[in-house]
Every structure is written in structure tokens, then in C-alpha cells.
Structure 1
Amino acid sequence: MKQEIVVAYDGTRQSRTAIEWAAAECRVRHRAGMTVCQVWDGPDPERVEAVAAEERRLAGLRLSEGVRLAERLLPGREIRPVLVRGDPKDVLVGLSRNAAMLVLGHRSVRGLAGLLRGSVSAYAAAHAACPVVVVGAPASGPPSGGVMVGIDAARPAGPEADSALRFAVEVARGRSLPLTAVYATRGREPEGERALARIVEPWRARCRGRPRIETRVVEAPPLPALAACAREAWLLVLGAHGAGSHGAGSHGARARPLGPVGQGLLRRASCPVAVVHPVWPIPCDISMI
């Protein structure tokens, strides 16, 4: 099973928070190492060579700062520095192919050339080959809601819900947090609670109370409902929907666009947001987690 956690670092407060979040996750994944990546998007080759050299020097200094932070947080663990000049989207998606997780600081814009502005955040979520976690500012206090996972109970149970639940279970178990599966519906659906329970019940049986899994049906449009849930959560987990290919990136990853709800939550959620693809491997035995 892949153990490496890749973190994008550009020297901003948000990217330092991303390293801290990833380091804490590494500590509960006993064999996990970390890759700290600084994507150097320097000047065009036609520009003065001295300017390019200075850009590279500054990028290297930012990377060294991120590596030192990771080493302080994870003494004795392997920390791999990566300094790359190129398109941040393609570089990070490429690194995701051999990673257990890709962690990004919300609104990291300097060295990552606006990674989480506009369509680039959707690109990372759609093309990464591993779960993507977007981390904002540090929480002011411990959240009461633990891990929450958005489930569309109106859809037939499938790989999207299973992958999102599997990831949520893994993180909640590692952090000893409760897990809540949330179904947001625009109108009253008497079958909603039962449909959600049918999706969650197999995971309750596998987990045997570790973690405890609750269900919640919220009668509100998905975006405001899940944004409200995020205010009490430590982590909000979303599945990347779409069974068919919607185009491939330069690394051949299958694109699964988030849609307006997922993109809105990346911008608005007050807790870290994880986006999990249905292609993420699901083990047969939950005891492996």
C-alpha cells in the first residue's frame, strides 16, 4: 500500500499549515514518509539567465524551510525534498501517482502560481491519482464533529461512496475521531435516512465501532448544508463523482470533475476538505486500516 504523503510548499502560512496537517497524519500512519514539493515556475528561457538563477535560488530556500519544518515535526522519518520547474498542476498530479495523499494549503499562490485559484484547484481534484486534502488556516479549537463524509444517498451505492467512506474511516480511526455520514437533500425525503443507512451499514459491520459511524440527513441544498457541517468538523470528505472519462491530463489520469458543490466547498469550507476518487483502492478487509 502506498505510504508517501506529498505536500505542496511555497512558504506561505497556509502551506506551513498543510505540512503540519500532513505530519500529524504521518504520525498515525506508522510507516509513512513525506515529500515536500516546491514547484518552481520561473521565467521563460528567453529571459536573462541571472534572473532564472535567482528564481531557482529563492525557490530552493523556500523548499529548505519547508523540509526543516517537516523534519522538526517528524523526527526520524524520511523527508524527501523535490524542487521542480514546471507547471504546478502537472507536477503535483504526477507526484500523486505514487502517493497515499496529496496535501495542499488553501490559497497557496506564490511558488505554486495560484494553484488553488480558478480552475487549477478543480484540476488537481479531478486528475490526482490519490486523495487530495486542501487545508486552510489552523482550527481555533478542537472540532466537535470529527470526520464528516458527504454521501449522495439518492444515487445507487457504488465506488464513489465506498471510496469516500473508506478514506473517512481510515482517517477517523487513525485520529480516534467519530465519523458522520451526511446526506443533504433539497426537500423532504422519507426514504433518505433509510437509503443512507443502507450505504453506511456494511461499514459499521466492518468497523465494529472503530470508529463510531453516525448518519445525518439535512434538508437543505448540498453546498450550504455541507458548508455548515464543515464548521463543526475536523475534516470533510467528498467523493469525486463521474464514472466515465472526461479527458485526461498530461499524466494520463482519468478526470472526474467536482462540480459546483465540490468546488464551492474547496473555497468556503472552514475545515480541511478531502476529495477522494472512486479509483482509489478499497481493501477487502477493513482490518487492514
Structure 2
Amino acid sequence: MNANGPVVVGVDGSASSLAAVETAAREAKLRGTGLRVVHAFIWPAMKVPLGPAAVGPRDGGLRNLAERTLDEAVTRARDVAPGVAVTGEIVTGEPLTVLEERSRTASLAVVGSRGMGGFIGLLVGSTAVHLAAHGRCPVLVVRGEPDREGPVLLAVDGSPEAAGAVEFAFAEASLRGVGLVALHAWNEWTEPGDDDPGHPQNLVGDAGRLRGTEERVLAEAIAGLREKYPEVGVERRLIRGRVRPALIEASEEAQLLVVGARGRGGFAGLLLGSVSQALLHHAHCPVAVVRSGGE
């Protein structure tokens, strides 16, 4: 990751990827940096004809289609953010490999929630996990209808690996001039009244004491950042309930949901199982996935 690097966005011509281009252009403007629009062109590696067919139109063929896809995306970006320096490139290779490589010099990588062509299946199954696990900068997945006046929503789990997500969320709130909601859900895998003897509440024997512990987890997770970003108003929100519905419901009033790539407790394996699928497919606003800086 290069904190001063451009925003990178992957495009494939789909409506979702063009929405991602618009978001990426706004993000580049916020950061005062450039925008790099990338189209992964996998067909040369597959040894298929790239030019127009002998009996087809002169502007037909895969190469011309790729160029039109890129030109449309670059034009859209320049229309949305006229002052941003926008560059476009067609790169031969598999989309995830191309995006991962470009993320090494980027400050942010942006993708749509659905795709076609070169980016088909980008957020289905293991490909989303791959991008989040191996990308070298934060990954912003554009989806939903964000409340542009709403706060940045931060999923807090208290793990050291999530520190980068906390910092990123504060920085985003500062850039956008909005508040931050730091949400920590506890006891998420058990409904009230559960009698599992191994459940933390039963091990502690005092729900009040357990809640106090979780309050400290939330407070410690954001400690120091409030001083670094004094202009950001912070709401600490502690919820006893399940993580997925808590975050999905809260995302209805947010303009961005920020999560760490790994976690503990309720967020263990966030990008490996059902929680990640729920967020990527059901969050009502864009989701930013931030890996630990030390990974």
C-alpha cells in the first residue's frame, strides 16, 4: 500500500463496475490523489482471436470491446470528478492478479459488488476472500444505497489485527466531515436465555460484569484515535446481539461500513464465512475491508 498512491478501480463494462468508477472518482477527489482505471484483459492469454471477424463490423472484436469499456469508464470518472487526474489501462491477465498487483502502489482499491466479463464472479466465493486477504491496500466494495449524510460505521472487535480498520475509519470520517459510529456486538452467537455452560456469560456468571468487559473492549479499540482526530464526533454503540443483523441494520443509515480482514470473537474469520457473505451481499452501503498493516 502507498498512502499517497492513486485510487485503483477495476472495470468490466457492467453497471456495477461503472458505479464503482463513480465512487472511486469521488474517493480520489476526497484524497487529493489520482485515479487509475484498470480493465483486466484475459483473452490474449487464452489464445483467442482479438480482432473483428472477417464478416463483422470493423469496430467489433474483443480488443475493440475492451477499449470501449475502458474509454466509457474513464469518461464517467472525469464527468464525476473533473479535477481528478484519471488514467486508464488495459492489462493482460486474470482480474484478481491484476488488481492485487496494482494495489501494491495504491491507497485504495475499488470494485463493484457484481460484474461480468473479465471480473465475473469477483465477489462470489473464494475470489472475494482472495482479494481481501492478498490486496496490499484497503478494498472498497461498492454496493447498496449509502446515506451520503450518514456517518462512517466501524465494526469493532478489539483484536490487534483490526487496528488498521479503526484508523482507516477515523481517517474516512475526517475526510468526509461526518461522525463515526463504533459498533461492538457481543454475545452474538447465542440468543438470550441460552444455557450453554461454555458460553462466556455463564462462565462469568454475571452479565453485568461481562458487559463491562465488552465496554472496555470498545473503549480501548478507539483509544488514542479520538485525540488524533478531534474533529470526528464518535458514538460508541454496544449491542448485545448477533453481529450480522446488527451491522446490516446499522448500515442503513451509514455512508460507509469499515471492517477488519480478521478478528476474534464475533468477527473471527470475518472474510471466510457467513458473516462476510452477509455483509458483502446485504449491507446497505459500501463496505471497506482493511487488512492489518503488519500482514
Pairwise TM-score range, normalised by the shorter structure: 0.7 to 0.9
Aligned to 1:166: 167
Mapped to 2, the partners of 1:201 and 1:51 lie a distance apart of: 60
Q: Offset of 1:49 from its aligned partner?
A: 5.4
Q: Offset of 1:21 from its aligned partner?
A: 1.3
Q: Offset of 1:242 from its aligned partner?
A: 6.6
Q: Any conservation in 2 of the 1:97–1:130 contact (CA below 8 Å)?
A: yes
Aligned to 1:219: 240
Query: Does residue 1:235 correspond to 2:256, yes or no?
Result: yes
Equivalences for 1:70-219 in 2 at 5 Å? 70-139=77-146, 141-144=147-150, 146-153=151-158, 155=159, 158=160, 160-186=161-187, 189-190=210-211, 191-208=213-230, 210-219=231-240
Q: Any conservation in 2 of the 1:109–1:116 contact (CA below 8 Å)?
A: no
Q: Any conservation in 2 of the 1:17–1:137 contact (CA below 8 Å)?
A: no
Q: Any conservation in 2 of the 1:186–1:220 contact (CA below 8 Å)?
A: yes
Q: Offset of 1:161 from its aligned partner?
A: 2.8
**Matched residue pairs, number?**
261
Equivalences for 1:9-28 in 2 at 5 Å? 9-28=11-30
Question: Could you list the runs of 5+ residues in structure 1 that have no partner in the other structure?
Answer: 244-255, 282-289
- Determine helix, strand or coil for the equivalent of 2:12: coil
Q: Any conservation in 2 of the 1:125–1:275 contact (CA below 8 Å)?
A: yes
Of residues 258, 273, 286, the one that matches 2:287 is: 273
Q: 196-205 or 185-194, which moves further after superposition? A: 185-194
Alpha-carbon RMSD: 2.4
Aligned to 1:65: 72
TM-score normalised by L of structure 1: 0.82
Q: Any conservation in 1 of the 2:94–2:118 contact (CA below 8 Å)?
A: no
Q: Offset of 1:81 from its aligned partner?
A: 0.6
Residues 99-147 of structure 1: CA deviation (Å, up to 9, x unaligned): 00000011122331321222111111111000000001444x5454x10
The change in CA–CA distance for 1:48 and 1:28 in structure 2 (over 3 A counts) is closer
Question: Could you list the runs of 5+ residues in structure 2 that have no partner in the other structure?
Answer: 54-59, 189-206
Aligned to 1:42: 43
The change in CA–CA distance for 1:116 and 1:109 in structure 2 (over 3 A counts) is farther
TM-score normalised by L of structure 2: 0.81
Q: Offset of 1:64 from its aligned partner?
A: 0.4
Mapped to 2, the partners of 1:102 and 1:217 lie a distance apart of: 30
- Determine helix, strand or coil for the equivalent of 1:111: helix
Amino acid across the alignment from 2:154: V
The change in CA–CA distance for 1:47 and 1:229 in structure 2 (over 3 A counts) is same
Residues 200-258 of structure 1: CA deviation (Å, up to 9, x unaligned): 131112222x1112211111121222111212211000011279xxxxxxxxxxxx972
- Determine helix, strand or coil for the equivalent of 2:8: strand
The change in CA–CA distance for 1:242 and 1:56 in structure 2 (over 3 A counts) is farther
- Determine helix, strand or coil for the equivalent of 2:293: coil
Structure (1 or 2) with the larger CA radius of gyration:
2
Q: Offset of 1:280 from its aligned partner?
A: 6.9
Q: Any conservation in 2 of the 1:238–1:262 contact (CA below 8 Å)?
A: no
Mapped to 2, the partners of 1:72 and 1:229 lie a distance apart of: 31
Residues 148-195 of structure 1: CA deviation (Å, up to 9, x unaligned): 111113x4xx2x232111111111101111101111112653221122
Mapped to 1, the partners of 2:155 and 2:46 lie a distance apart of: 45
